[in-house]
Structure 1
Amino acid sequence: MHMSIRKAVLAGVAIAFAAIVPVQAAQAQSGMLSLRKPSPVGSYLAGVAALENLDGNRAARYFMDAASEEWDNPVYVSRAFLSYLVAGKVSDAATLAHHLLDLEPNDELARLTLGTVALKQRRYSSAEQTLSRISDGSLIGLTGGILRAWAQAGNGNPSAALATLDALGDSGFADFLVFHRALVADVGGLRGQALDYAREAYEMDPFVTRIAEAYVRILANAGRFEEAQIVLDEYAAEGIAHPLVDSLRAPVAAGRRPGLFANSVQSGATEMFHGLGTALARDGSLELGVVFLQLALYLDPEASVVAMTLGELFASAGRYSEADAVYGKIPSSSPLSTSALIRLAESRDAQDDREGAISRLRNIVNSNPDNVEAWGALGDVLRYDERWEEAADAYTQLINTIETDRPRDWRYYYVRGIAYERAGHWENAEPDFKRALELNPDQPQVLNYLGYSWVDMGMNLEPALEMIERAVELRPRDGYIIDSLGWAFFRLGRVDEAIAELERALQYLPNDPEINDHLGDAYWVAGRHREAMFQWRIAIAVDERGEVTERARPKLTEGLVDMPEIQ
């Protein structure tokens, strides 16, 4: 679910933790405490480090070690409780939540967890009572309010559930609440209201995947197949593709009702946790985002879309074993099964098994020759491995599967252009970059790449400068693009302007060998030879690949002999 998490709301739900005695913490870090048996503070500090890395299982062990020594310490207990949630051990977290509430009666996340467990077990009245004790005004309060509405729906009272959602209307999440009104009404059998709310949600955010899928399902279930087809066509025309939406094309075209978006109270509440968890993670609250997604999977273990999101969060944090475990649970019958296999292959690459990743991806495209996502992933991994010809071939296969270019397809031409350019086939690369700009004229990466390539080859310098200047306008803090601007000025003989821009680029990327080498060249032409030598030495020192060193090292003895042609 697409939304903006307000900073004020996030601040309102931050879990408060008591301070650790500074002397104890310093002793633990300096090794003054016993090494034979970690102190509670030592275990706590180890748990903090593990939790920061989203290693929930290890963090829970450390925090429980600390809590076992000081069972009435709310800091240790609350951290252990949170770690169990991050690890997806909701039952263990719920057991600890009772003790945590004895210590901290106002702990909102503990009550939310207990309410979730009650909802899972269909103890709807208990869930409603537990959730009603969470105060409003925070994200946990909002979450508890929506979950309480689902409990009311579970009790057979969808009208009361809608009234509860209406009471949350001033929370700043109007679009999200409209979407859940549609789902509550749909699960509760209020089909007319469900359709009205779904239409309203769709009009607010027409290209959010979950909203589009729900609206198509509600329309088609009502027998309004032509309208459902229009939504599908508008979604595709925007250049968006998603297996869950694509899976609706066949039943809608055949006039078959595809079934409910949320087929139970539990799956409806799952969608709530999924939407909020995704938004939290996107806004930087990764830990709480993972917690919400784990609660979502607890409510509905078959929710493949939640598993995909959770796996991607774990992978982004380097927790590949956890990510792989989540992806591995997605059944082959799910529309997301191929996406899960792709993520597993990408995980292999991230763990330094590039050949294994390429082998897996080749198997996937052999079995799914029309899968754009799989061809794109294969092309990317081959490009990372600098197998330029093979990467270009993979991207060509991808492009050949697209019937009509859409604005969002610019990236495919862009990455194929890079592969062609690096393979030495400029005659193929240049048309791809131009096609990418036809599809997305203000794409700064493409403007920069084509502009810089022209500058580096000493061709089309004035148009190249205009393109790079536009890219800088769009990305004013991007050191690489600013470097391109400086280099364009240099090739045009505008050395003072080149130096100013190259120095500015180094403020953002002080250890980039290419920028240091460019600045050295500009200094040399300006007669600032000592400063030029200094920049070339830095370029050599920070160059890990050796490409810049090869051209910079001779300059240290000969200066800039092979001057680039300056217009």
Structure 2
Amino acid sequence: MTHKARLASGVLLAVALTIGGAAALESGATFPLMDQSVTGSYLAGRQALSDLRTEDAARYFRTAAEGDWDNPIIVERSFIAYAANGQVSDAARVAKHLLELSAPNDLASLVIGTEAVKQRRYAAAARELENVGGDTFAGITGGLLHAWALVGEGKKAEANKVLDEIGQGGLEDFLVFHRALMADVEGDSKSALEFAAKAYEADPFVARIVEAYSRMLGNAGRFDEAEKVIAKFEAEGLDHPLIAAVKAKIDNKQRPGVFATDVQSGAAEMFHSVGVALAREGSPDVSAVFLQLGMYLDPKSDVIDLVYGQLLDGAGQHDAANAIYDKLPADSPMKPMAVVRVAENLSATGDRDEALRRLGNIVASNPNDLEALSVLGDMQRAAQKYAEAADTYTKALGVAGGDAPGDWRFYYVRGIAFERAKQWDKAETDFKRALELNPDQPQVLNYLGYSWVDQGVNLMPALDMIEKAVAAAPNDGYIIDSLGWAFFRLGRFDDAVKQLEMAVQLRSTDPEINDHLGDAYWRAGRKLEARFQWNIAAAVDQEGAVKERVAKKLAGGLDAVAPAPDAGPVAEGQAAPAQ
């Protein structure tokens, strides 16, 4: 099976992901006959790995492999599960057996090579990886790890030759950052700065590139240039704890220290960027393998720990994620962010009060923690504490400055809090300010446009805004609902039906959207369908407000609660913004 994906160290790269026997299995190939217990363990392991219950997956696949040690499909999934669970030595042992059964396998060679690099057996790693290549994630990463192994051997020319070969596939923009790190580890500061400058020029707002380049400039005593690099990053409303730590050193004219201290930490950064790319492209199990390999090579890379925790969060494994966050040392620049993630997980698992308490403590002890302020405001808003949320967002704007392009979000979410607190004038002002900073932001265009439509004011400007939002986010059911509702308000009932039917297809269980479609059907003369749609709206409503509203319509029709417009196109609406 081939997946298009992106490698992210600030440079976008479309490549294919192929993982040996797993590909054959996914494509429908049959696997050798297994007894029932082996089959059950295998299937349970696959499900556990898909859920990122990696400890369970490793245990199930170990049982399956013990029952059928010469089945390459089981052995392959076994070593992948071990690696995803951080048992890299076990993964390498099983990967060696897989290569005896079914060679080649780039991912297996990559795991074996990683173990050798960790043990500083660079020559052995280079031998294992010399035939790994191609345009797969495992192939490209294996090629880069081969180059890192050669750097470890002191074979700079051969390492550059390997990189040149990889770069022939159009990957040089991706490789230049890793060339910079390799040169820095080798002690070639001049070349490192030249490569880092190229990487920065291509992607000046990627945090890892900004951190590495500013470190190299600071270590060279070029503090003014380093300050400008960081200032440009922050001017975009961006921030990162590690860049803040570098900035503190630079401001005091202190050398901030190297980005990668050795071959292991340099190669770990490679696994970090590839793991992030895989997660973004919807391959969390394989992403877990790459991130674990990065943590194995560099146990002190807290940024990889945090990414792995976020990966677990995305799979709903909040307890496992919190274990990752909790182990970060107290003096780590990433610790405050990890503590915020723990609070978010407490909320996700149902303990919102404790989450709010912890976030309140974080903000009280560090009132300039923008991440904590942002999450606290969002959580207060979710708890319908709108006045408190608006106050928290105001504090966040005070920290952020309120004028950077990225600050649009704080105006937007504060506007939502004001709107829900029935302070429309303040909300409208914030939405307009958000659009000044980000004129094409579809969520803001939709919210302000919908609010105007729902109030029956500024209908034509609102329609223009919502149509612009739909063009930017054509598969967002909420935004398409807004467009349909705008048409409804303008008396264009057939157009409203068309858009609202599309919105219901995208958001079939949203009660507001189903209710809107029922109203549109009624005005279009399709009263039987209207009653059917209102019944659906009532059935899927979990909070009760829509159910109460449609009960009146089911009893007396739409005219009983909202008389049809006479001369004008505007009918009274009942629904709050479907956000």
Is this a same-fold pair by TM over 0.5?
yes
Q: CA deviation at 1:532?
A: 1.7
Q: CA deviation at 1:441?
A: 0.8
**Counterpart AA for 2:466:** I
- Superposed CA deviations along residues 490-518 of structure 1, whole A, max 9, x for unmatched, are 21222222222222222322332212211
**Counterpart AA for 2:174:** F
* Structure 2: gaps (5+ residues): 1-8, 571-579
Q: 1:42-441 alignment to 2 at 5 Å?
A: 42-441=40-439
- Superposed CA deviations along residues 444-498 of structure 1, whole A, max 9, x for unmatched, are 1111101111111112222111111111121222221111111112212222222
What secondary structure, in the 3-state scheme, does the structure 2 residue paired with 1:67 have? helix
**Counterpart AA for 1:2:** G
| CA shift in 2, pair 1:404/1:554, >3 Å | closer
Q: Greater shift after overlay, 493-502 or 341-350?
A: 493-502
CA distance in 1, matches of 2:424, 2:20: 54
Q: Which has the higher contact order (CA 8 A, sep 6+)?
A: 2
- Superposed CA deviations along residues 24-53 of structure 1, whole A, max 9, x for unmatched, are 79xxxxxxx8xxxx5211111111111111
CA distance in 2, matches of 1:203, 1:22: 49
Match of 1:538 in 2: 536
Match of 1:472 in 2: 470
Q: Greater shift after overlay, 54-63 or 413-422?
A: 54-63
**Counterpart AA for 2:420:** R
**Counterpart AA for 1:171:** G
**Counterpart AA for 1:10:** L
* Structure 1: gaps (5+ residues): 26-32
TM-score of the two chains, using structure 1 as the length reference = 0.94
Q: How many residues are matched?
A: 555
Match of 1:30 in 2: none
Seq. identity, %: 53
| CA shift in 2, pair 1:405/1:39, >3 Å | same
CA distance in 1, matches of 2:499, 2:105: 52
> Aligned pair 1:10/2:17, yes or no?
yes
**Counterpart AA for 2:10:** H
Q: Greater shift after overlay, 99-108 or 276-285?
A: 99-108
CA distance in 2, matches of 1:523, 1:130: 67
Q: CA deviation at 1:326?
A: 1.4
Q: CA deviation at 1:12?
A: 6.9
Q: 1:435-454 alignment to 2 at 5 Å?
A: 435-454=433-452
What secondary structure, in the 3-state scheme, does the structure 2 residue paired with 1:39 have? helix
- Superposed CA deviations along residues 188-235 of structure 1, whole A, max 9, x for unmatched, are 011111111001111111111111111111111111111111111111
Match of 1:563 in 2: 562
Match of 1:29 in 2: none
CA distance in 1, matches of 2:516, 2:273: 46
CA distance in 1, matches of 2:455, 2:58: 57
- Contact 2:215–2:226 at 8 Å: present in 1 too? yes
| CA shift in 2, pair 1:512/1:41, >3 Å | same
CA distance in 1, matches of 2:304, 2:423: 42
CA distance in 1, matches of 2:349, 2:65: 34
| CA shift in 2, pair 1:472/1:43, >3 Å | same
**Counterpart AA for 1:494:** R
Q: CA deviation at 1:404?
A: 4.7
What secondary structure, in the 3-state scheme, does the structure 2 residue paired with 1:247 have? helix
**Counterpart AA for 1:81:** F
CA RMSD in angstroms comes to 1.9
CA distance in 2, matches of 1:532, 1:74: 57
- Contact 1:158–1:184 at 8 Å: present in 2 too? no
Q: 1:478-497 alignment to 2 at 5 Å?
A: 478-497=476-495
CA distance in 2, matches of 1:22, 1:129: 31
| CA shift in 2, pair 1:426/1:14, >3 Å | farther
CA distance in 2, matches of 1:136, 1:521: 57
CA distance in 1, matches of 2:529, 2:402: 53
- Contact 1:4–1:279 at 8 Å: present in 2 too? no
- Contact 2:534–2:550 at 8 Å: present in 1 too? yes
| CA shift in 2, pair 1:195/1:5, >3 Å | closer
Match of 1:28 in 2: none
CA distance in 2, matches of 1:267, 1:387: 44
Q: CA deviation at 1:112?
A: 1.1
TM-score of the two chains, using structure 2 as the length reference = 0.92
CA distance in 2, matches of 1:338, 1:193: 35
CA distance in 2, matches of 1:71, 1:519: 58
CA distance in 2, matches of 1:497, 1:176: 47
Q: CA deviation at 1:430?
A: 1.1
